[in-house]
Structure formats: C-alpha cells, structure tokens
C-alpha cells in the first residue's frame, strides 16, 4: 500500500492562505478573518494545502473555548487534509481551546476527518444569510444541509479561568508593553 509523500506543517500568513483557497477550494471563497492559518508541505517544501481557523461562526458555539476550522483546501495530495486537520486541533489546544468544529457538505464523506480523530457531531440545516440592512441575501456558498464535526477534551481537563478584578493592597499592577 502506497502511503504518499512525507508531509510537514509550516506557518502561513493569511494572505497566502486566502490566495490558495481562492485558487483551489471547490465551493467557498476565502474567509474574512482568522485566528491562525497553516500550510501543509511535501518533502520539497511545495505547499499542498492550507487550513484556516478562527472563532466559531455560530454564536451559540462561541463560548471562548471553541475554535472553528473555516477552510481546508488541498491539491489532492494523499493525507494532506488529515495532516492539516490534526495540526489544527494540536494548535487550538496549545492556544487553550477545548473544542474545535468544522463542517462538511453531506456529499463529502469525511474520511479525512475520521482519520484525524474528529467525530460527527450532528446535522446542521442549510440556510441563507440575509443582510440586516436590506434583507437581501448575498450567498456565494452552498446553502444545503451540512455535517458538523468536532474534537474536544474532557470536561475534567478544562480548568476554570478567573480574571483578577483589581490589584489588592500590596500587589503591584503589571502592564503589558
């Protein structure tokens, strides 16, 4: 069984990731923003795919501990998609996120997501977004039903974060420069 080329993850700026998505992705334009983006390269350093991640688009999922992979685009290189999805979860965890989501069309089987350890998390009804100022839709993406996929840590692994309100008497105030 042929395993495909050796792949590695490399840093990637938003402009380059968006250009790659614009040139290769089958049904989505590049996203407007992101928290991080990465490239997947072969042993010669040639970029074979990119992933772009950020805050969850669905407000109900945006709890401060969740991240969403907005786009994964590859040139079809074997294992590039799984490599990117696995790396997105490792990076998100290193940043303190405890959950990461992404979505696929029902026509997409999710083989790479399964290979990367993601689990199907349910069906999301397709819908169009409307502009609130005009009520018009400007959807350039598929509005069909989708599958949501997720990876998360157990609740016992998630510590409680408590922000100090103000320094108490005798404490110095620290400032970021």
**Architecture of the domain spanning 7-157:** 3-Layer(aba) Sandwich (3.40)
User: Is the per-residue pLDDT at 69 higher than 80?
Assistant: yes
pLDDT interval class at 66 (50, 70, 90): very high
User: Is the per-residue pLDDT at 50 higher than 60?
Assistant: yes
User: Is the per-residue pLDDT at 152 higher than 50?
Assistant: yes
pLDDT for the residue 166:
73
pLDDT for the residue 97:
92
The C-alpha atoms of residue 14 and residue 23 are separated, in whole angstroms, by 14
The C-alpha atoms of residue 106 and residue 103 are separated, in whole angstroms, by 9
> 């026509």: which residue's tokens?
107
Between residues 96 and 124, the one the model is more confident about: 96
User: Is the per-residue pLDDT at 170 higher than 80?
Assistant: no
DSSP labels for 12-67? Answer: --HHHHHHHHHHH-SS-PPPS--SEEEEEEETT--EEEEEEEES-SSGGG-SSSEE
Residue of 10, 109, 90 whose CA lies nearest to 50? 10
pLDDT for the residue 139:
47
pLDDT for the residue 52:
93
Tokens linked to 177: 């420069």
pLDDT for the residue 168:
65
**What confidence tens digit (pLDDT) does each residue in 31-48 have?**
677 799 999 999 999 999
pTM of the model: 0.79
For 47, what's the count of Cα atoms within 13 Å in the CB-facing half-sphere? 19
pLDDT for the residue 77:
94
**What confidence tens digit (pLDDT) does each residue in 101-149 have?**
999 988 888 899 889 999 998 887 766 555 565 555 554 555 678 899 9
Give SS3 for 29.
coil
């Amino acid at each position: 069984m042929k395993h495909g080329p050796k792949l590695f993850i490399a840093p990637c700026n938003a402009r380059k990731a968006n250009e790659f998505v614009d040139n290769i992705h089958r049904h989505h334009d590049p996203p407007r923003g992101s928290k991080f983006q990465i490239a997947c390269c072969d042993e010669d350093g040639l970029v074979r795919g990119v992933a772009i991640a950020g805050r969850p688009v669905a407000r109900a999922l945006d709890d401060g501990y969740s991240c969403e992979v907005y786009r994964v685009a590859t040139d079809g290189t074997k294992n590039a998609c799984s490599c990117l999805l696995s790396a997105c979860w490792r990076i998100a965890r290193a940043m303190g996120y405890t959950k990461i989501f992404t979505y696929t069309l029902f026509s997409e089987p999710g083989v790479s997501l399964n290979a990367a350890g993601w689990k199907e998390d349910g069906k999301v009804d397709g819908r169009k977004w409307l502009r609130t100022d005009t009520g018009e839709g400007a959807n350039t993406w598929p509005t069909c039903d989708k599958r949501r996929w997720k990876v998360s840590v157990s609740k016992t692994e998630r510590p409680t974060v408590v922000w100090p309100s103000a320094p108490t008497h005798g404490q110095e105030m620290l400032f970021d420069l």
